């Protein structure tokens, strides 16, 4: 049963085997019911978040179109407030749709999962005249939801590309337990005091840098969901260096 529990924990099995002595079979069946209920709740939450996003998209677009018909003197203040609404909606929808560590995920190939995203970002960087460099420390498999890791890396890279002058770097490393993602750029960066303030609970990391403060705020929530940690510092290229460590690396061990 210990090996079976490990398989469920690692996401390689969805339920416990109930072919056990009566008392253990009853316990296993009860645990399976809890596992199934948790999975249904996660799926329902993500489905609801998606429906809400579609429901809000049209009225927000209509409001923005109507704003364009107002006199310019009256438009600016309303545009600021509407941007705040859109930012808040997108942030909380992203947070609600994230699966996080509460779910059990079978290992995924990190490079294969991120390849479509990174290929698209590389084309965007090329159009902007920015060199996007990647360093991968071998093949890495992680226990994460594919959408979550794409959201996390996508927001980190988008923020770096927004502020870079000519260079963005992504470094991907792992040990037996921890995945480390480091994204740096050669933009204006942040002071040490700003970096320390940015990672305080409740702060929006790129609030002063981008206006919306959304991208890195989503990263903060995803890192917390997976019990990881994040550190901001000055990059060697002069811009911002964001290092994210997540205890999600898949590994084989004897049980």
Q: Largest Cα–Cα distance of the chain, in whole Å?
A: 77
Question: What pLDDT is stored for residue 64 in this prediction?
Answer: 80
Sign (positive/negative) of CA torsion 225, 226, 227, 231?
negative
Give mean pLDDT in consecutive 10-residue pieces for the chain, a chain of 255 residues. Answer: 61 68 78 77 70 73 82 78 74 63 75 94 94 93 89 91 95 92 94 76 46 65 88 92 93 51
Residue among 50, 49, 78, 77 nearest 63 (CA): 78
Residue among 146, 171, 144 nearest 157 (CA): 171
Question: What pLDDT is stored for residue 202 in this prediction?
Answer: 42
Mode of pairing for the β-strands spanning 240-246 and 179-185: antiparallel
Question: What pLDDT is stored for residue 50 in this prediction?
Answer: 67
Question: What pLDDT is stored for residue 2 in this prediction?
Answer: 62
Q: Which pair of structure tokens corresponds to residue 185?
A: 């750029």
- Domain range annotation of the chain: 1-97, 108-246
3-state secondary structure of 219: helix
Give backbone dihedrals phi and psi of 16, rounded to 5 degrees, phi first: -80, 145
Strand order of the sheet with strand 240-246?
131-136, 167-174, 179-185, 240-246, 229-234
Distances (CA, A) of 185 to 46, 133, 196, 240: 33, 10, 18, 6
CA distance 99 to 113: 16
3-state secondary structure of 54: helix
Question: What pLDDT is stored for residue 207 in this prediction?
Answer: 47
Question: What pLDDT is stored for residue 9 in this prediction?
Answer: 60
- The owner of tokens 């959408």 is 147
Mode of pairing for the β-strands spanning 179-185 and 229-234: unpaired
- The answer to whether 199 touches 228, Cβ cutoff 8 Å, is no
From 2.60.120.560, 1.10.260.40, 3.40.250.10, 1.10.287.130, which CATH number describes the 1-97 domain?
1.10.287.130
Structural element, H or E, at residue 120 = helix 110-127
Count Cα neighbours of 254 within 13 Å in the Cβ-side half-sphere: 0
Distances (CA, A) of 60 to 96, 200, 234: 19, 31, 37
CA distance 184 to 186: 7
CA distance 171 to 156: 12
Q: For the chain, how big is the Rg over CA atoms in Å?
A: 21
Question: What pLDDT is stored for residue 96 in this prediction?
Answer: 64
3-state secondary structure of 166: coil
Question: What pLDDT is stored for residue 210 in this prediction?
Answer: 43
- In CATH, 108-246 is 3.30.565.10: yes
Sign (positive/negative) of CA torsion 41, 43, 46, 47?
negative
Alpha helices (H) in 130-171, listed in sequence order: 146-163
């Amino acid at each position: 049963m210990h090996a079976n529990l490990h398989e469920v924990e690692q996401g390689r099995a969805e339920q416990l085997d109930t072919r056990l002595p009566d008392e253990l079979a009853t316990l296993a069946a009860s645990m399976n019911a809890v596992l199934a209920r948790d999975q249904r709740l996660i799926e329902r939450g993500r489905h609801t978040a998606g429906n809400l996003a579609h429901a809000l998209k049209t009225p927000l677009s209509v409001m923005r179109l109507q704003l364009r018909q107002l006199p310019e003197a009256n438009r600016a203040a309303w545009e600021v407030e509407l941007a705040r609404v859109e930012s808040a909606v997108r942030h909380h929808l992203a947070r609600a749709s994230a699966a996080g560590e509460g779910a059990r995920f079978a290992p995924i190939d990190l490079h294969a999962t991120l390849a479509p995203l990174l290929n698209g970002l590389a084309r965007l960087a090329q159009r902007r005249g920015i060199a996007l460099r990647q360093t991968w420390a071998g093949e890495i498999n992680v226990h994460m939801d594919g959408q979550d890791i794409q959201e996390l890396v996508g927001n980190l890279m988008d923020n770096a590309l927004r502020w870079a002058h000519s260079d963005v770097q992504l470094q991907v490393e792992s040990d037996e337990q921890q995945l480390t993602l480091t994204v740096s750029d050669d933009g204006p960066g942040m002071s040490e005091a700003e970096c320390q303030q940015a990672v305080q609970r409740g702060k929006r990391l790129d609030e002063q840098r981008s206006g919306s403060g959304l991208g890195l705020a989503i990263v903060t929530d995803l890192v917390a969901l997976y019990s990881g940690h994040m550190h901001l510092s000055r990059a060697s290229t002069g811009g911002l260096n964001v290092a994210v460590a997540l205890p999600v690396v898949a590994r084989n061990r004897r049980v």
